[in-house]
Amino acid sequence: MSSELCLFYILSSFTLVSAIMVICLSNAVHSVLFLITVFCNVTGILILLGAEFLGFLLLIVYVGAIAVLFLFVVMMLNIKVITNKFNTWSLFFLSSLLFFTFLNQFLMSVNINFEYGNNMSHITYLWINWFNKNHIYTNTEAIGNVLYTNYSFIFIMSGFLLLIAMIGTIVLTMHQRSDVKKQVIAIQLSRNSLDVIQFIKLRK
């Protein structure tokens, strides 16, 4: 077994265990921390597979921005652990149904791939390393060349949609309250200097 394959199995195992801990823990802060661990392990797997651009993009965007934002929001909201006990047997049927459904889909995909491989075993495959063929461009340069030329319009429209979503979120979260005291600079500058300091005689 090569070192890369051994490292792939280690990262995959940590990813699976961390993903299970995300959905099993009752503390929201611990779940977010394990979610960050999942993203870091997936980044390592993508780097091993040669997709370093997607790996570092996942690390910068999800771990550096979204997961940290989740962590700060959860810590600021001070979400307490729910102490009310509920009947877990009521969810047993639904969880079992989902588990066997996903297991059936997984086994069907594996059987289809094996059958396809047995039927097409007489065909010889020619493997081509396109990275060596296009040695002029790196992985990041190749993705940028396609993204900013062929799909530039879609990229710009996605930016506009995100901008509209950000503006809509800001508008929806701004609450105009009349009972809130606000600082008015014009009133402060137009005040009389004699009324700024007030002397009060205390009774002896």
User: The pTM is what?
Assistant: 0.53
For residue 198, what pLDDT is reported? Answer: 73
Cβ-Cβ contacts under 8 Å for 189 (sequence gap 6 or more): none
Q: What share of the chain is helix, strand, coil (3-state, %, to 5)?
A: 70, 0, 30
Is 54 inside a domain boundary?
Answer: yes
In a domain, 33, yes or no: yes
| CATH code of the domain containing 19 | 1.20.120.1200
pLDDT for the residue 187: 77
Count the domains in the chain.
Answer: 2
Q: Which of 79, 94, 109 is the last residue of a domain?
A: 79
**146 within some domain:** yes
94 inside domain: no
> Are residues 6 and 74 both part of a single domain?
yes
Tell me which of 53, 79, 105 is where a domain ends: 79
Domain stop point among 79, 102, 117 = 79
For the chain, which residues score pLDDT lower than 70? 1, 78-90, 110-136, 173-180, 204
Is residue 85, in this structure, part of any structural domain at all?
Answer: no
Query: Are 74 and 146 in the same domain?
Result: no
- The whole domain housing 146 covers 136-174
- Report CA-CA distances (Å) from 71 to 25, 95, 170, 171: 15, 28, 20, 24
Q: Has residue 6 been placed in a domain?
A: yes
Same domain assignment for residues 141 and 74: no
Domain-located, residue 119? no
Both tokens of residue 200? 């009060």
Domain membership flag for residue 145: yes
Distance CA 153, CA 148 (A): 8
Give SS3 for 15: helix
